[in-house]
A and B are shown apart, each in its own frame.
Chain A
Amino acid sequence: MSTNEIIFEDVSKFYGEVLGVNKVTLHIPPGITSLVGPNGSGKTTLMNLMTGLILPDRGSISVLGLSPRDPEHLMRITGYATQFDSAPRWATGLEFVSTGLTLYGYSAAEVRERAWRALELVGLTDAADRKVAAYSKGMRQRARLAQAIAHDPQVLVLDEPLNGLDPLVRADTIALFRHYAAQGRHVLLSSHVLQEVDLISDQVILIANGMIVAEGEIRDVRDEISDRPSQFILRCRDASRIASLLFNEDHVTEIRMNDDHLGLLVMTRNREEFSRALTRIAVAGYVIDGVIPADENVDALYEYLIGGGRA
């Protein structure tokens, strides 16, 4: 069993008669992985399963080679910021983070140092001595994040970590996730904000009705969706002429012209042929300022694979 991956092997979980997740098989490599799916699709269930908060009815789970049934070892390398507040009413931010750290066997000085460093990373040092109960929603979110990262885990699991954060803190938090991922660690998060998922994710897992719809790097997932033409935005000076040239290509299914006549939205069934066609057009002397894939993002994948209302 790989010791550098999070592995779900044919995992099913039912809550009584209600399906949680069904026959999930996943191999999650290091980096930032986003779980995307509508409410009740099974995102939190997957996170709870891999951290041992709930147990699978079928299948097995391994987190870097450790079983979720072994919290003593698993939670030394894993930090999980759940959606629920777990701070006692009496605890200040510093006490909340420190309390968890005392169970790792650190000395009192190290507990304080680590707690303070974690609060620093999430920008909560000013409020460290205030009670968590008096924190705003965003501050409580950051306190949970601080508690999850305080022991410097290899695997960071975050349920809706960007909820309630103001834009500045959001950017800092995303930078923190990137920093973790750059060190070869796992950051697994769920988010409703698809644009952000798009920006920060190395890979996505799309889940609906307890089943994995797609997984992998966003572009690979997009490539696998063969029944939907790929969309590209072209910025060019002679849009009408380029559009007529592209219409001669068999793989192009639709072209829409921008109102300013300086851009096109092209839909093609074959990305490689499209690329070659663009090269030919450019060689023929037409100026193409830029080509941007319009549907290589989580938003489009979500629309194609899951459809309906957003997560």
Chain B
Amino acid sequence: MTQARIRQAWAIARVELRRAFFSRRGLWVYLLALLPCVMFLGHGIEIRIREKHWMQNGLTPAQVVDSMAQGETVDAVLRRAPNPVNDRNWQERREDPDDRQDKDRDKDKGKDKTPAPKPDEMRALTYFDGHRIAYLHFTNGVLDRKHVNLSRNLEDDRRAFAGIFQVFYLRLAIFFGCLGIFMNLFRGEMLDKTLHFWFLAPVRREVLLAGKYLAGIVAAAVIFGGGALLAYGAMLWPHSGVDAQMFLQTAGWSHAFWYTTAAVLGCLGYGSVFLAAGLLLRNPIIPAAVILVWESINGFLPAVLQQMSVLYYLQSLCPETAPIDENSALARLLFAPAASASKGLAILGLLAVTALVLWAASRAVRRIEINYGAE
């Protein structure tokens, strides 16, 4: 009997996969899943175009870039490094606070005899040594500031990835993607007036729920797990083979695994929540708003309540902490991570929350009635 039910669930899942992957209502889910990949690809392409442009202007040896020091004149710098990739001049009028007070006093007396100060001659030179980009800032011909950055900074990109993954991908893309996929499994069929097809099959409602959930999970895991991996690949793509290889051999593969796992488990958790919501409520906006708020304020909830959130477990699985602007109260409110659990505990906790929600959904699906007129 159990084997027969498993076969039924799989048969349902096979049919539903088509709906889950290719539903016209759900095509926007692909946009959400691929957006980080597109962002990192765009970033990589921009870096490559910029470097190509810099190289056309000529490379400056690294020793020369390192030798440039504050206090040097612009002529001295240009003598040693005559091929900046960018050269910009402008004037800047800076006022002394004392001069300003004198000027205001003169204005009050009806006379303005303080002459305008002479503007400073500003110049910015940019040099590229093949790996690093140096920004030199001159005031009246003297080097007063120097910034040297790697043109491709894997550390920065990893932090950016961690931020995008946790703030956008987990909280928004997977959240709303699962809303689109899983709410559609029952509610979509109600709207299409086709749900009775399944209810008239010799299948327990719980088996139907399992089959539909399985289809949703496979679709969401492929779309969002794949999206996470693609974005990760796109993040690594512009970096030199040596940097990327070194990172992959140390922590890179592990990070890729945990990001993908977090994405798939996110689909598992949010999927169960939205599947249940689709059975209980007609309007997806209400549960989406409530769950979004619940997940957003998760970091401020007591420990017991934090554990009733999908995000609590997902954040614990992420290998890097998302960079959050500590000065922004809103950012702290919305994106502050919950107290982290160990990875094993996080997976078990998430599976437990999912099982609990699915159990509630299996109770709800038994009471569902076909009443298309009310939709």
Contact = CB atoms under 8 A, between A and B. Distances in A.
Contacts of A53: 196, 199-200, 369-370
A51 B200 contact: yes
Interface in A71-112: 71-76, 78, 80, 82, 84-88, 90, 99-100, 102-105
B372 interface: yes
A82 B205 CA distance: 19
A85 to B, nearest CB: 7
A160 to B, nearest CB: 15
Contacts of B202: 71-76, 103-104
Interface stretch (B11-19, B115-123, B350-358): B11-19
Contacts of B200: 51, 53, 71, 75, 78, 80, 82, 100
Given A86-B194, A88-B194, A103-B202, A55 B367 contact: yes
Contacts of A72: 202-204, 207
A54 interface: yes
Interface in B164-219: 193-194, 196-197, 199-205, 207
Contact of A102 (B11, B18, B193, B199): B11
Contacts of B193: 84-86
A177 B110 CA distance: 109
B196 A75 contact: no
Given A53-B370, A71-B201, A80-B200, A85 B194 contact: yes
A52 interface: yes
B367 to A, nearest CB: 7
Given A53-B200, A54-B369, A75-B200, A103 B194 contact: no
B52 interface: no
Interface in A43-77: 48, 51-55, 69, 71-76
B18 to A, nearest CB: 6
27 contacts: A15-B371, A53-B196, A53-B369, A53-B370, A54-B370, A54-B371, A55-B367, A71-B202, A72-B202, A72-B207, A74-B202, A75-B200, A75-B202, A78-B200, A80-B200, A84-B193, A84-B196, A84-B372, A85-B194, A86-B194, A88-B18, A100-B200, A100-B201, A103-B8, A103-B11, A103-B201, A104-B202
Interface of A: 15, 48, 51-55, 69, 71-76, 78, 80, 82, 84-88, 90, 99-100, 102-105
